[in-house]
Amino acid sequence: MPYETFVCESAKVGQVIQVISARDQDLPQAGQRFSFKSPQEGVKTKNFTIRDFGNNTAGVVTLRGGFKRRSQEIYHLPVLIEDGGLQTLSSTGTLTIRVCGCDTDGSLLTCSAEAIFLPVGLSTGALIAILVCIVILLVIVVLYVGVRRQKKKETLMTSKEDIRDNVIHYDDEGGGEEDTHAFDMGTLRNPKVIKENLFRRDVKPELGLCPRRPIASQNSADISNFISQRLQEHDGDTSAPPYDSLATYAYEGEGSVADSLSSIESVKGEPQEDYDYLNEWGPRFKTLAGIFGERSESQSDVTSSTTTENKH
């Protein structure tokens, strides 16, 4: 099985980065004796060495400092293990050492490859995928917030479906001030009512706005021209009363089924009418038919008496 450990980039010279041990599974643990050393004893390596502690353990010691993952991230250290029996048996194993970033107290922070000594390790690809997902979520949130703010600024007249030629939308403040091709200010004016010194007739003008009349010369003998001039001034003076007002006229009874509501006796010499048709409207109009029937009979009597007197 592979054996792995790590060394911090901030490791110093002579620092023990890992303690290793050995055990014979076929023999009881009591009485076992193992020694550790490098296969090429007497030849010093440049990076790491093995230091036997004499109690069936040994330490991996650094021979230099300044390890960098960019220059080299993996080192291989061969380890020779011998037992203390009559017939010495030995075995050689290889220890893989990775260069990792550590905290100030030597705790592992990150490695370029798979993080060791963790129950569940995450590969570099998995970490990159997680970071990409987080970035995508942040971008979606930012876009959503931006769209919500943009919808609040839109008015009712900024409909994208409104494609009429005479409707132009300006979303920015002050937009369209230089647009002189989309509209013509001359079309907004009525040439029939454009006059110089034109005053409003619905509001009484202030005294300061009234045009000054020229003072007639006392030495002028042309009285006719003076009167004509004053007459023209008064005819064209829009500040003179009466001022314009709104008056609504309508005919009496217009829009009503019963027509005019004027009194029947408002017109003298009203011709005699027959109100017998009221009896045909039913018992609800019986009283009204009786009233108008009596009035028609009295008018007939008055008419007949007047005719008799005229004959005499």
Asked if residue 79 is part of any domain, the answer here is: yes
Range of the domain at 108: 3-124
pLDDT computed for residue 188 by the predictor? 61
Residuewise pLDDT in 10s, the chain (312 residues): 568 889 998 888 989 999 988 887 777 777 778 888 887 655 556 889 888 888 888 999 998 888 888 888 888 888 888 887 777 788 888 889 999 988 888 788 887 544 444 444 566 778 899 999 999 999 999 999 988 888 776 654 555 555 556 656 555 555 555 555 655 666 666 655 555 555 555 555 565 545 555 555 554 457 888 888 888 887 777 766 665 556 666 777 677 766 666 655 454 455 566 677 777 888 888 888 788 777 666 666 555 555 544 444
The domain tally of the chain equals 2
pLDDT computed for residue 119 by the predictor? 41
Q: What is the DSSP letter of 222?
A: -
Domain final residue, candidates 109, 124, 139: 124
Asked if residue 115 is part of any domain, the answer here is: yes
Domain final residue, candidates 124, 140, 160: 124
Domain final residue, candidates 124, 147, 170: 124
What span, in angstroms and rounded, lies between the C-alpha atoms of 156 and 121? 56
Asked if residue 15 is part of any domain, the answer here is: yes
> In CATH, what number is assigned to the domain containing residue 119?
2.60.40.60
Of 20, 109, 112, 7, the closest CA to residue 65 belongs to 7
Asked if residue 35 is part of any domain, the answer here is: yes
Give the pTM: 0.35
| Dihedral angle sign, alpha carbons of residues 191, 193, 195, 199 | negative
In Å, how far are 15, 52, 85, 160 from 43, measured between CA atoms?
Answer: 19, 16, 26, 82
